[in-house]
Structure 1
Amino acid sequence: MRFNSSPTLPENPYPLRLSWSTVAFFATIHALALLSPWFFSWPALGVTLLLHWLFGSIGVCLGYHRLLSHRSFKVPRWLEYAIAILGALSLQGGPIFWVAGHRLHHAHTEDEYKDPYSARRGFWWSHILWIFYPRPEFFDYERYQRFAPDLARDPFYRWLNRYFPLLQIPVAFLLYTLGGWSFVIYGVFLRTVILWHTTWFINSVTHMWGYRSFASNDNSRNLWWAAILTYGEGWHNNHHAYPHVAKCGWRWWEIDMTWWAIRLLKTVGLAKDVNLPPAQTMKVGDL
Protein backbone atom coordinates (compact mmCIF):
# COMPACT_ATOMS: atom_id res chain seq x y z
CA MET A 1 0.00 0.00 0.00
CA ARG A 2 1.25 3.50 -0.88
CA PHE A 3 0.24 6.78 0.66
CA ASN A 4 0.42 10.24 -0.83
CA SER A 5 0.03 13.71 0.62
CA SER A 6 -3.46 14.41 -0.74
CA PRO A 7 -5.13 16.73 0.13
CA THR A 8 -2.51 19.33 -0.69
CA LEU A 9 -1.09 21.92 1.69
CA PRO A 10 -1.12 25.67 1.06
CA GLU A 11 1.95 27.23 -0.53
CA ASN A 12 2.05 30.19 1.83
CA PRO A 13 2.81 29.42 5.46
CA TYR A 14 1.01 30.84 8.42
CA PRO A 15 3.01 33.37 10.46
CA LEU A 16 5.24 31.53 12.90
CA ARG A 17 4.24 31.82 16.55
CA LEU A 18 6.35 30.52 19.38
CA SER A 19 4.47 28.10 21.66
CA TRP A 20 5.66 29.01 25.14
CA SER A 21 3.82 26.05 26.67
CA THR A 22 5.78 23.71 24.38
CA VAL A 23 9.04 25.43 25.26
CA ALA A 24 8.22 25.13 28.98
CA PHE A 25 7.41 21.42 28.64
CA PHE A 26 10.64 20.56 26.83
CA ALA A 27 12.70 22.78 29.12
CA THR A 28 11.26 21.03 32.17
CA ILE A 29 12.05 17.56 30.87
CA HIS A 30 15.60 18.65 29.99
CA ALA A 31 16.07 20.25 33.41
CA LEU A 32 14.97 17.08 35.19
CA ALA A 33 17.33 15.05 32.99
CA LEU A 34 20.19 17.29 34.17
CA LEU A 35 19.64 15.94 37.69
CA SER A 36 21.03 12.58 36.56
CA PRO A 37 24.61 13.07 37.92
CA TRP A 38 23.19 13.33 41.45
CA PHE A 39 21.18 10.12 41.01
CA PHE A 40 23.76 8.01 39.19
CA SER A 41 23.96 4.26 39.54
CA TRP A 42 25.07 1.64 37.06
CA PRO A 43 21.69 -0.13 37.14
CA ALA A 44 19.97 3.20 36.40
CA LEU A 45 22.26 3.76 33.43
CA GLY A 46 21.39 0.25 32.26
CA VAL A 47 17.68 1.14 32.47
CA THR A 48 18.31 4.19 30.28
CA LEU A 49 20.06 2.12 27.63
CA LEU A 50 17.45 -0.65 27.72
CA LEU A 51 14.48 1.70 27.38
CA HIS A 52 16.26 3.79 24.75
CA TRP A 53 16.51 0.64 22.65
CA LEU A 54 13.02 -0.67 23.48
CA PHE A 55 11.12 2.56 22.93
CA GLY A 56 13.51 3.85 20.25
CA SER A 57 14.49 0.93 18.05
CA ILE A 58 11.38 -1.22 18.53
CA GLY A 59 8.81 1.47 19.27
CA VAL A 60 9.84 4.33 16.96
CA CYS A 61 12.16 2.92 14.30
CA LEU A 62 10.47 -0.44 13.77
CA GLY A 63 6.95 0.55 14.84
CA TYR A 64 6.13 4.17 14.08
CA HIS A 65 8.50 4.37 11.13
CA ARG A 66 8.94 1.18 9.15
CA LEU A 67 5.70 -0.56 10.15
CA LEU A 68 3.08 2.20 10.49
CA SER A 69 4.43 5.02 8.31
CA HIS A 70 5.68 2.95 5.37
CA ARG A 71 3.96 -0.42 5.85
CA SER A 72 7.20 -2.10 4.80
CA PHE A 73 6.07 -5.33 6.48
CA LYS A 74 3.04 -6.75 8.27
CA VAL A 75 2.56 -8.24 11.71
CA PRO A 76 -0.54 -9.55 13.53
CA ARG A 77 -2.78 -6.74 14.75
CA TRP A 78 -2.16 -7.51 18.45
CA LEU A 79 1.58 -7.21 17.89
CA GLU A 80 1.16 -4.03 15.84
CA TYR A 81 -0.76 -2.47 18.73
CA ALA A 82 1.87 -3.57 21.27
CA ILE A 83 4.69 -2.09 19.18
CA ALA A 84 2.70 1.14 18.72
CA ILE A 85 2.40 1.44 22.50
CA LEU A 86 6.19 1.19 22.74
CA GLY A 87 6.43 3.98 20.17
CA ALA A 88 4.01 6.12 22.18
CA LEU A 89 6.18 5.59 25.27
CA SER A 90 9.00 7.43 23.47
CA LEU A 91 7.04 10.65 24.14
CA GLN A 92 7.45 11.77 20.54
CA GLY A 93 3.76 12.20 19.85
CA GLY A 94 0.90 9.86 19.19
CA PRO A 95 0.99 7.43 16.26
CA ILE A 96 -1.35 9.44 14.00
CA PHE A 97 0.64 12.63 14.56
CA TRP A 98 4.01 10.92 14.01
CA VAL A 99 2.97 8.96 10.93
CA ALA A 100 1.19 11.90 9.29
CA GLY A 101 4.20 14.15 9.75
CA HIS A 102 6.59 11.56 8.43
CA ARG A 103 4.52 10.85 5.33
CA LEU A 104 4.44 14.58 4.62
CA HIS A 105 8.22 14.68 5.04
CA HIS A 106 8.59 12.04 2.32
CA ALA A 107 5.95 13.55 0.05
CA HIS A 108 7.52 17.02 0.18
CA THR A 109 11.08 16.38 1.33
CA GLU A 110 12.91 19.60 2.23
CA ASP A 111 10.13 21.83 0.90
CA GLU A 112 10.29 24.85 3.21
CA TYR A 113 6.53 24.96 3.76
CA LYS A 114 5.17 21.47 3.15
CA ASP A 115 7.84 19.40 4.94
CA PRO A 116 7.18 19.73 8.70
CA TYR A 117 10.90 19.59 9.54
CA SER A 118 12.51 20.80 6.34
CA ALA A 119 16.31 20.72 6.57
CA ARG A 120 16.43 23.54 4.02
CA ARG A 121 15.41 25.88 6.83
CA GLY A 122 18.56 25.05 8.78
CA PHE A 123 19.85 22.62 11.38
CA TRP A 124 17.98 24.00 14.38
CA TRP A 125 14.66 24.22 12.55
CA SER A 126 14.77 20.59 11.41
CA HIS A 127 16.13 19.43 14.76
CA ILE A 128 13.73 21.09 17.21
CA LEU A 129 12.41 24.55 16.29
CA TRP A 130 9.66 23.11 14.10
CA ILE A 131 8.14 21.81 17.35
CA PHE A 132 8.47 25.18 19.13
CA TYR A 133 6.74 26.97 16.24
CA PRO A 134 3.87 24.56 15.56
CA ARG A 135 1.94 25.10 12.35
CA PRO A 136 -1.73 24.08 12.32
CA GLU A 137 -1.26 21.86 9.26
CA PHE A 138 1.08 19.65 11.23
CA PHE A 139 -0.19 19.96 14.81
CA ASP A 140 -3.97 20.34 14.60
CA TYR A 141 -5.53 16.88 14.70
CA GLU A 142 -8.38 17.66 12.30
CA ARG A 143 -5.80 18.68 9.70
CA TYR A 144 -2.95 16.22 10.09
CA GLN A 145 -5.12 13.11 10.55
CA ARG A 146 -5.99 13.32 6.84
CA PHE A 147 -2.44 12.24 6.02
CA ALA A 148 -2.73 9.03 8.08
CA PRO A 149 -6.29 7.92 7.29
CA ASP A 150 -5.51 4.24 7.82
CA LEU A 151 -4.65 4.97 11.46
CA ALA A 152 -7.29 7.64 12.02
CA ARG A 153 -10.02 5.11 11.20
CA ASP A 154 -8.86 2.86 14.05
CA PRO A 155 -10.36 3.64 17.51
CA PHE A 156 -7.29 2.25 19.26
CA TYR A 157 -4.93 4.58 17.40
CA ARG A 158 -7.23 7.55 18.02
CA TRP A 159 -7.18 6.76 21.74
CA LEU A 160 -3.41 6.27 21.80
CA ASN A 161 -2.86 9.46 19.82
CA ARG A 162 -4.82 11.43 22.42
CA TYR A 163 -3.68 9.87 25.68
CA PHE A 164 -0.10 8.75 24.99
CA PRO A 165 1.47 11.14 27.58
CA LEU A 166 -0.39 9.34 30.37
CA LEU A 167 1.57 6.14 29.62
CA GLN A 168 4.59 7.70 31.33
CA ILE A 169 2.78 7.44 34.70
CA PRO A 170 2.74 3.62 35.01
CA VAL A 171 6.30 3.49 33.62
CA ALA A 172 7.50 5.98 36.25
CA PHE A 173 5.64 4.11 39.00
CA LEU A 174 7.18 0.79 37.97
CA LEU A 175 10.66 2.30 37.79
CA TYR A 176 10.25 3.92 41.21
CA THR A 177 9.16 0.57 42.66
CA LEU A 178 12.20 -1.16 41.17
CA GLY A 179 14.89 1.43 41.85
CA GLY A 180 13.59 4.61 43.45
CA TRP A 181 14.15 8.11 42.10
CA SER A 182 17.39 7.07 40.40
CA PHE A 183 15.47 4.79 38.06
CA VAL A 184 12.84 7.48 37.44
CA ILE A 185 15.36 10.19 36.58
CA TYR A 186 17.32 7.88 34.28
CA GLY A 187 14.48 5.77 32.91
CA VAL A 188 12.01 8.57 32.22
CA PHE A 189 13.69 11.95 31.92
CA LEU A 190 17.24 11.20 30.78
CA ARG A 191 16.03 8.44 28.48
CA THR A 192 13.42 10.75 26.97
CA VAL A 193 15.87 13.57 26.28
CA ILE A 194 18.51 11.29 24.73
CA LEU A 195 15.90 9.54 22.59
CA TRP A 196 14.43 12.84 21.46
CA HIS A 197 17.74 14.17 20.22
CA THR A 198 18.94 10.95 18.61
CA THR A 199 15.65 10.73 16.70
CA TRP A 200 15.81 14.40 15.71
CA PHE A 201 19.31 13.85 14.33
CA ILE A 202 17.65 11.98 11.46
CA ASN A 203 15.64 15.11 10.63
CA SER A 204 18.68 17.37 10.83
CA VAL A 205 22.17 15.92 10.39
CA THR A 206 21.30 13.19 7.88
CA HIS A 207 20.10 15.88 5.51
CA MET A 208 23.39 17.75 5.89
CA TRP A 209 26.37 15.39 6.23
CA GLY A 210 27.33 11.94 5.00
CA TYR A 211 27.57 10.09 1.71
CA ARG A 212 24.99 9.35 -0.95
CA SER A 213 24.52 5.92 -2.50
CA PHE A 214 21.51 6.99 -4.57
CA ALA A 215 20.65 10.14 -6.53
CA SER A 216 17.41 10.82 -4.65
CA ASN A 217 15.61 14.10 -5.27
CA ASP A 218 16.70 15.56 -1.94
CA ASN A 219 19.82 15.98 0.17
CA SER A 220 19.39 12.87 2.30
CA ARG A 221 22.66 11.29 3.44
CA ASN A 222 24.00 8.09 4.96
CA LEU A 223 25.77 8.97 8.22
CA TRP A 224 27.41 6.18 10.19
CA TRP A 225 27.32 7.70 13.67
CA ALA A 226 23.67 8.70 13.30
CA ALA A 227 22.93 5.11 12.26
CA ILE A 228 24.59 3.79 15.42
CA LEU A 229 22.61 6.18 17.66
CA THR A 230 19.31 5.36 15.94
CA TYR A 231 19.63 1.62 15.38
CA GLY A 232 19.97 1.91 11.61
CA GLU A 233 17.89 4.97 10.72
CA GLY A 234 21.00 6.98 9.85
CA TRP A 235 21.33 5.22 6.48
CA HIS A 236 18.92 7.90 5.41
CA ASN A 237 19.82 8.21 1.73
CA ASN A 238 19.10 4.50 1.27
CA HIS A 239 15.75 5.04 2.96
CA HIS A 240 14.74 8.09 0.93
CA ALA A 241 15.63 6.30 -2.30
CA TYR A 242 13.47 3.29 -1.33
CA PRO A 243 11.23 4.39 1.56
CA HIS A 244 9.01 1.29 1.53
CA VAL A 245 11.93 -1.11 1.99
CA ALA A 246 12.14 -2.53 5.51
CA LYS A 247 15.94 -2.52 5.50
CA CYS A 248 17.79 0.81 5.83
CA GLY A 249 21.36 -0.52 5.99
CA TRP A 250 21.97 -2.23 2.66
CA ARG A 251 25.68 -3.02 2.63
CA TRP A 252 27.22 -5.50 5.07
CA TRP A 253 28.94 -2.75 7.02
CA GLU A 254 25.83 -0.53 7.24
CA ILE A 255 24.71 -1.78 10.65
CA ASP A 256 20.93 -1.76 11.04
CA MET A 257 19.84 -3.16 14.40
CA THR A 258 16.18 -2.46 13.71
CA TRP A 259 16.39 -4.65 10.63
CA TRP A 260 17.79 -7.44 12.82
CA ALA A 261 14.58 -7.27 14.89
CA ILE A 262 12.40 -7.34 11.76
CA ARG A 263 14.34 -10.32 10.43
CA LEU A 264 13.86 -12.11 13.76
CA LEU A 265 10.12 -11.49 13.59
CA LYS A 266 10.13 -12.86 10.05
CA THR A 267 12.09 -15.95 11.11
CA VAL A 268 9.57 -16.83 13.84
CA GLY A 269 6.64 -16.19 11.50
CA LEU A 270 5.38 -12.91 13.01
CA ALA A 271 6.45 -10.60 10.17
CA LYS A 272 5.15 -11.18 6.66
CA ASP A 273 5.27 -9.39 3.29
CA VAL A 274 8.63 -7.87 4.20
CA ASN A 275 9.75 -5.46 1.47
CA LEU A 276 13.40 -6.04 0.56
CA PRO A 277 15.77 -3.95 -1.58
CA PRO A 278 15.49 -4.49 -5.34
CA ALA A 279 17.84 -7.31 -6.31
CA GLN A 280 19.44 -5.34 -9.14
CA THR A 281 20.70 -2.67 -6.72
CA MET A 282 22.46 -5.11 -4.39
CA LYS A 283 25.80 -6.86 -4.52
CA VAL A 284 26.16 -10.48 -3.49
CA GLY A 285 26.51 -10.70 0.27
CA ASP A 286 25.03 -7.27 1.05
CA LEU A 287 21.74 -8.73 2.25
Structure 2
Amino acid sequence: MTAKHLAIATEGETPLRLRWINVAFFGIIHALALLAPWFFSWSALGLLLFLHWLFGSIGICLGYHRLLSHKSFQVPKWLEYAIAFIGALALQGGPIFWVGGHRQHHAHTEDIQLDPYSAKRGFWWSHMLWIFYPREEFFEDEKYQKSAPDLARQPFYRWLDRYFLLLQIPLGLLLYALGGWSFVIYGMFVRAVLLWHCTWFVNSATHMWGYRTFDADDNARNLWWVSIVTYGEGWHNNHHTYPHVAKAGFQWWEIDVTWWSIKLLQTLGLAKKVILPPSPTTTQG
Protein backbone atom coordinates (compact mmCIF):
# COMPACT_ATOMS: atom_id res chain seq x y z
CA MET A 1 0.00 0.00 0.00
CA THR A 2 1.53 3.27 -1.12
CA ALA A 3 1.86 6.48 0.83
CA LYS A 4 -0.49 8.05 -1.69
CA HIS A 5 -3.31 5.85 -0.45
CA LEU A 6 -2.64 6.71 3.20
CA ALA A 7 -2.05 10.46 2.95
CA ILE A 8 -4.08 11.54 5.94
CA ALA A 9 -2.19 14.69 6.87
CA THR A 10 -0.76 17.56 4.89
CA GLU A 11 2.30 19.72 5.37
CA GLY A 12 1.74 22.46 7.94
CA GLU A 13 -1.52 20.95 9.14
CA THR A 14 -2.25 20.35 12.80
CA PRO A 15 -1.48 16.64 13.38
CA LEU A 16 -4.60 14.53 13.05
CA ARG A 17 -5.50 12.40 16.04
CA LEU A 18 -7.03 8.96 15.83
CA ARG A 19 -10.33 8.86 17.71
CA TRP A 20 -10.42 5.41 19.26
CA ILE A 21 -14.10 5.56 20.16
CA ASN A 22 -14.91 5.83 16.44
CA VAL A 23 -12.58 2.95 15.63
CA ALA A 24 -14.15 0.83 18.38
CA PHE A 25 -17.71 1.62 17.27
CA PHE A 26 -17.17 0.75 13.62
CA GLY A 27 -14.94 -2.19 14.55
CA ILE A 28 -17.60 -3.73 16.79
CA ILE A 29 -20.32 -3.36 14.16
CA HIS A 30 -18.06 -4.99 11.57
CA ALA A 31 -17.23 -7.82 13.97
CA LEU A 32 -20.90 -8.47 14.75
CA ALA A 33 -21.63 -8.57 11.01
CA LEU A 34 -19.18 -11.49 10.74
CA LEU A 35 -21.67 -13.57 12.75
CA ALA A 36 -23.91 -13.68 9.69
CA PRO A 37 -23.08 -17.27 8.57
CA TRP A 38 -24.26 -18.66 11.92
CA PHE A 39 -27.58 -16.80 11.76
CA PHE A 40 -28.44 -17.22 8.10
CA SER A 41 -32.00 -17.59 6.92
CA TRP A 42 -33.60 -16.70 3.62
CA SER A 43 -36.03 -14.38 5.36
CA ALA A 44 -33.13 -12.58 7.04
CA LEU A 45 -31.41 -12.20 3.65
CA GLY A 46 -34.61 -10.78 2.20
CA LEU A 47 -34.84 -8.36 5.13
CA LEU A 48 -31.23 -7.28 4.53
CA LEU A 49 -31.91 -6.50 0.88
CA PHE A 50 -35.13 -4.61 1.70
CA LEU A 51 -33.58 -2.48 4.44
CA HIS A 52 -30.48 -1.82 2.32
CA TRP A 53 -32.80 -0.37 -0.31
CA LEU A 54 -35.14 1.41 2.13
CA PHE A 55 -32.44 3.03 4.27
CA GLY A 56 -29.96 3.44 1.41
CA SER A 57 -31.96 4.45 -1.65
CA ILE A 58 -34.91 6.14 0.05
CA GLY A 59 -33.33 7.38 3.27
CA ILE A 60 -29.84 8.39 2.14
CA CYS A 61 -29.83 8.79 -1.65
CA LEU A 62 -33.30 10.23 -2.13
CA GLY A 63 -33.69 11.87 1.29
CA TYR A 64 -30.41 13.07 2.75
CA HIS A 65 -28.78 13.60 -0.64
CA ARG A 66 -31.10 14.68 -3.43
CA LEU A 67 -33.91 16.14 -1.32
CA LEU A 68 -32.19 17.75 1.67
CA SER A 69 -28.64 18.44 0.46
CA HIS A 70 -29.43 19.66 -3.05
CA LYS A 71 -33.17 20.45 -2.97
CA SER A 72 -33.55 18.89 -6.40
CA PHE A 73 -37.27 18.39 -5.78
CA GLN A 74 -39.88 19.19 -3.13
CA VAL A 75 -42.31 17.02 -1.20
CA PRO A 76 -44.87 17.83 1.51
CA LYS A 77 -43.24 18.54 4.86
CA TRP A 78 -44.72 15.43 6.50
CA LEU A 79 -43.21 13.26 3.78
CA GLU A 80 -39.89 15.09 3.95
CA TYR A 81 -39.69 14.40 7.68
CA ALA A 82 -40.65 10.75 7.19
CA ILE A 83 -37.94 10.25 4.57
CA ALA A 84 -35.36 12.00 6.76
CA PHE A 85 -36.35 9.71 9.64
CA ILE A 86 -35.67 6.71 7.41
CA GLY A 87 -32.30 8.22 6.52
CA ALA A 88 -31.43 8.57 10.21
CA LEU A 89 -32.06 4.82 10.65
CA ALA A 90 -29.26 4.13 8.15
CA LEU A 91 -26.70 4.89 10.88
CA GLN A 92 -24.76 7.40 8.78
CA GLY A 93 -25.19 10.37 11.07
CA GLY A 94 -27.94 12.88 11.65
CA PRO A 95 -29.37 14.92 8.76
CA ILE A 96 -27.67 18.20 9.66
CA PHE A 97 -24.27 16.51 9.97
CA TRP A 98 -24.70 14.57 6.72
CA VAL A 99 -26.06 17.48 4.70
CA GLY A 100 -23.56 19.95 6.13
CA GLY A 101 -20.62 17.73 5.25
CA HIS A 102 -21.94 16.98 1.79
CA ARG A 103 -22.48 20.62 0.97
CA GLN A 104 -18.92 21.34 2.08
CA HIS A 105 -17.76 18.55 -0.24
CA HIS A 106 -19.50 20.18 -3.20
CA ALA A 107 -18.41 23.70 -2.31
CA HIS A 108 -14.75 22.68 -2.07
CA THR A 109 -14.53 19.41 -4.00
CA GLU A 110 -11.20 17.64 -3.46
CA ASP A 111 -9.68 20.61 -1.62
CA ILE A 112 -7.36 18.97 0.89
CA GLN A 113 -8.32 21.33 3.71
CA LEU A 114 -11.95 22.22 3.00
CA ASP A 115 -13.43 18.99 1.61
CA PRO A 116 -14.25 16.64 4.55
CA TYR A 117 -13.42 13.54 2.50
CA SER A 118 -11.07 14.90 -0.12
CA ALA A 119 -9.97 12.19 -2.54
CA LYS A 120 -6.61 13.97 -2.91
CA ARG A 121 -5.70 12.62 0.53
CA GLY A 122 -5.95 9.12 -0.90
CA PHE A 123 -8.49 6.35 -1.35
CA TRP A 124 -8.64 5.23 2.27
CA TRP A 125 -9.02 8.75 3.61
CA SER A 126 -12.01 9.51 1.41
CA HIS A 127 -13.44 6.04 2.03
CA MET A 128 -13.33 5.90 5.83
CA LEU A 129 -10.27 7.40 7.53
CA TRP A 130 -11.89 10.83 7.57
CA ILE A 131 -14.22 9.36 10.20
CA PHE A 132 -11.41 7.84 12.26
CA TYR A 133 -9.37 11.07 12.21
CA PRO A 134 -12.23 13.56 12.67
CA ARG A 135 -11.50 17.22 12.13
CA GLU A 136 -13.52 19.50 14.40
CA GLU A 137 -14.65 21.80 11.61
CA PHE A 138 -16.58 18.87 10.12
CA PHE A 139 -17.69 17.05 13.27
CA GLU A 140 -18.58 19.74 15.83
CA ASP A 141 -22.26 20.57 15.53
CA GLU A 142 -21.84 24.33 15.92
CA LYS A 143 -19.56 24.31 12.88
CA TYR A 144 -21.21 21.88 10.48
CA GLN A 145 -24.60 23.48 11.15
CA LYS A 146 -23.32 26.57 9.35
CA SER A 147 -23.40 24.60 6.11
CA ALA A 148 -26.99 23.48 6.68
CA PRO A 149 -28.74 26.45 8.34
CA ASP A 150 -32.06 25.59 6.67
CA LEU A 151 -32.14 22.30 8.59
CA ALA A 152 -30.59 23.64 11.78
CA ARG A 153 -33.48 26.08 12.14
CA GLN A 154 -36.01 23.26 12.36
CA PRO A 155 -36.55 21.57 15.77
CA PHE A 156 -37.27 18.18 14.17
CA TYR A 157 -33.92 18.08 12.39
CA ARG A 158 -32.06 19.25 15.48
CA TRP A 159 -33.71 16.44 17.45
CA LEU A 160 -32.95 13.86 14.77
CA ASP A 161 -29.36 15.03 14.50
CA ARG A 162 -28.85 14.62 18.24
CA TYR A 163 -30.67 11.34 18.85
CA PHE A 164 -30.32 9.38 15.58
CA LEU A 165 -28.09 6.80 17.25
CA LEU A 166 -30.72 5.97 19.89
CA LEU A 167 -33.19 5.09 17.14
CA GLN A 168 -31.24 1.85 16.66
CA ILE A 169 -32.63 0.58 19.98
CA PRO A 170 -36.32 0.44 18.99
CA LEU A 171 -35.27 -0.77 15.54
CA GLY A 172 -33.32 -3.65 17.08
CA LEU A 173 -36.19 -4.55 19.40
CA LEU A 174 -38.63 -4.56 16.48
CA LEU A 175 -36.37 -6.77 14.39
CA TYR A 176 -35.89 -9.19 17.28
CA ALA A 177 -39.65 -9.41 17.79
CA LEU A 178 -40.17 -10.11 14.09
CA GLY A 179 -37.42 -12.69 13.52
CA GLY A 180 -35.11 -13.14 16.49
CA TRP A 181 -31.36 -12.76 16.39
CA SER A 182 -31.20 -13.64 12.70
CA PHE A 183 -33.15 -10.48 11.85
CA VAL A 184 -31.04 -8.41 14.24
CA ILE A 185 -27.72 -9.60 12.77
CA TYR A 186 -28.78 -9.15 9.16
CA GLY A 187 -31.12 -6.19 9.55
CA MET A 188 -28.81 -4.11 11.70
CA PHE A 189 -25.16 -5.13 11.58
CA VAL A 190 -24.74 -6.69 8.12
CA ARG A 191 -27.01 -4.04 6.64
CA ALA A 192 -25.08 -1.21 8.31
CA VAL A 193 -21.67 -2.48 7.17
CA LEU A 194 -22.74 -3.05 3.57
CA LEU A 195 -24.51 0.28 3.36
CA TRP A 196 -21.57 2.13 4.90
CA HIS A 197 -19.10 0.82 2.34
CA CYS A 198 -21.50 1.29 -0.56
CA THR A 199 -21.95 4.94 0.42
CA TRP A 200 -18.25 5.44 1.07
CA PHE A 201 -17.41 4.13 -2.42
CA VAL A 202 -19.09 7.26 -3.79
CA ASN A 203 -16.55 9.37 -1.88
CA SER A 204 -13.57 7.20 -2.77
CA ALA A 205 -13.94 5.01 -5.88
CA THR A 206 -15.91 7.45 -8.03
CA HIS A 207 -13.23 10.10 -7.58
CA MET A 208 -10.58 7.69 -8.93
CA TRP A 209 -12.05 5.35 -11.54
CA GLY A 210 -14.67 5.51 -14.26
CA TYR A 211 -15.49 7.66 -17.27
CA ARG A 212 -16.19 11.37 -17.58
CA THR A 213 -19.04 12.60 -19.75
CA PHE A 214 -18.50 16.22 -18.75
CA ASP A 215 -15.27 18.18 -18.45
CA ALA A 216 -15.86 19.23 -14.85
CA ASP A 217 -13.32 21.00 -12.62
CA ASP A 218 -12.94 17.98 -10.31
CA ASN A 219 -12.10 14.32 -10.79
CA ALA A 220 -15.58 12.92 -10.13
CA ARG A 221 -16.34 10.03 -12.47
CA ASN A 222 -19.19 7.79 -13.58
CA LEU A 223 -18.63 4.28 -12.24
CA TRP A 224 -21.23 1.65 -13.10
CA TRP A 225 -20.67 -0.83 -10.27
CA VAL A 226 -20.89 1.89 -7.61
CA SER A 227 -24.14 3.02 -9.22
CA ILE A 228 -25.54 -0.49 -8.85
CA VAL A 229 -24.80 -0.78 -5.12
CA THR A 230 -25.88 2.83 -4.40
CA TYR A 231 -29.04 2.93 -6.48
CA GLY A 232 -27.69 5.48 -8.96
CA GLU A 233 -25.28 7.59 -6.91
CA GLY A 234 -22.24 6.31 -8.80
CA TRP A 235 -22.94 8.50 -11.86
CA HIS A 236 -20.79 10.99 -10.04
CA ASN A 237 -19.43 13.02 -12.95
CA ASN A 238 -23.01 13.72 -13.98
CA HIS A 239 -23.90 14.68 -10.44
CA HIS A 240 -20.95 16.99 -9.84
CA THR A 241 -21.60 18.75 -13.13
CA TYR A 242 -25.29 19.26 -12.30
CA PRO A 243 -25.54 18.79 -8.52
CA HIS A 244 -29.06 20.21 -8.18
CA VAL A 245 -30.57 17.83 -10.72
CA ALA A 246 -32.80 15.09 -9.28
CA LYS A 247 -31.68 12.54 -11.85
CA ALA A 248 -28.15 11.12 -11.68
CA GLY A 249 -28.19 8.76 -14.67
CA PHE A 250 -28.49 10.79 -17.88
CA GLN A 251 -28.05 8.08 -20.52
CA TRP A 252 -30.43 5.13 -21.00
CA TRP A 253 -27.82 2.67 -19.74
CA GLU A 254 -27.03 4.72 -16.62
CA ILE A 255 -29.46 2.94 -14.30
CA ASP A 256 -30.67 5.19 -11.51
CA VAL A 257 -33.00 3.28 -9.17
CA THR A 258 -33.45 6.26 -6.85
CA TRP A 259 -34.70 8.34 -9.75
CA TRP A 260 -37.45 5.76 -10.30
CA SER A 261 -38.71 6.44 -6.77
CA ILE A 262 -38.63 10.21 -7.36
CA LYS A 263 -40.51 9.71 -10.64
CA LEU A 264 -43.12 7.64 -8.81
CA LEU A 265 -43.58 10.36 -6.21
CA GLN A 266 -43.94 12.88 -9.04
CA THR A 267 -46.57 10.71 -10.75
CA LEU A 268 -48.49 10.49 -7.46
CA GLY A 269 -48.39 14.27 -7.15
CA LEU A 270 -46.12 14.16 -4.10
CA ALA A 271 -42.90 15.42 -5.72
CA LYS A 272 -42.97 18.93 -7.11
CA LYS A 273 -40.45 21.21 -8.82
CA VAL A 274 -38.33 18.24 -9.92
CA ILE A 275 -35.15 19.55 -11.53
CA LEU A 276 -34.09 17.69 -14.68
CA PRO A 277 -30.84 17.77 -16.67
CA PRO A 278 -30.67 20.63 -19.17
CA SER A 279 -31.12 19.81 -22.84
CA PRO A 280 -29.66 17.92 -24.69
CA THR A 281 -28.78 15.59 -21.76
CA THR A 282 -32.41 15.31 -20.68
CA THR A 283 -33.74 11.78 -21.13
CA GLN A 284 -37.15 10.34 -20.59
CA GLY A 285 -37.47 8.45 -17.28
Which range, TM-score by smaller chain? Answer: over 0.9
Distance in structure 2 (CA, Å) of the matches to 1:162 and 1:175: 23
Confirm or deny: 8 A CA contact 1:12 1:113 kept in the other structure.
Answer: no
Confirm or deny: 8 A CA contact 2:206 2:226 kept in the other structure.
Answer: yes
Q: Structure 1 89/12 Cα, relative in aligned 2: closer, same or farther at 3 Å?
A: farther
Confirm or deny: 8 A CA contact 2:60 2:87 kept in the other structure.
Answer: yes
**Post-superposition offset of 1:12:** 6.5
**Post-superposition offset of 1:171:** 1.1
**Post-superposition offset of 1:286:** 5.3
**Post-superposition offset of 1:64:** 0.1
Percent of paired sites with the same residue: 74
Confirm or deny: 8 A CA contact 2:250 2:281 kept in the other structure.
Answer: no
TM-score by length of 2: 0.95
Distance in structure 2 (CA, Å) of the matches to 1:20 and 1:13: 21
Structure 2 unmatched ranges of 5 or more: 1-10
SS of equivalent to 2:280? helix
Deviations 1:197-216 (A, max 9, x none): 00000000000000000011
Q: 1:15: which partner in 2? A: 15
Q: Give the alignment of 1:25-104 within 5 angstroms.
A: 25-104=25-104
Structure 1 unmatched ranges of 5 or more: 1-10
Q: 1:117: which partner in 2? A: 117
Deviations 1:178-230 (A, max 9, x none): 11000000000000000000000000000000000001100000000000000
TM-score by length of 1: 0.94
Confirm or deny: 8 A CA contact 1:251 1:286 kept in the other structure.
Answer: no
Distance in structure 2 (CA, Å) of the matches to 1:188 and 1:175: 8
SS of equivalent to 2:218? coil
Q: 1:210: which partner in 2? A: 210
Deviations 1:25-63 (A, max 9, x none): 000000000000110001001110000000000000000
Deviations 1:219-275 (A, max 9, x none): 000000000000000000000000000000011110000000000000000000000
Distance in structure 1 (CA, Å) of the matches to 2:50 and 2:101: 27
AA aligned to 1:215 is D
Q: 2:220: which partner in 1? A: 220
Confirm or deny: 8 A CA contact 1:206 1:234 kept in the other structure.
Answer: yes
Distance in structure 1 (CA, Å) of the matches to 2:69 and 2:102: 7
Deviations 1:78-105 (A, max 9, x none): 0000000111001000000000000000
AA aligned to 1:40 is F
Confirm or deny: 8 A CA contact 1:88 1:164 kept in the other structure.
Answer: yes
Distance in structure 1 (CA, Å) of the matches to 2:267 and 2:12: 48
SS of equivalent to 1:280? coil
SS of equivalent to 1:274? coil
* RMSD, aligned α-carbons: 1.1
Aligned length: 275
Distance in structure 2 (CA, Å) of the matches to 1:101 and 1:177: 35
Q: Give the alignment of 1:1-287 within 5 angstroms.
A: 13-282=13-282, 287=285
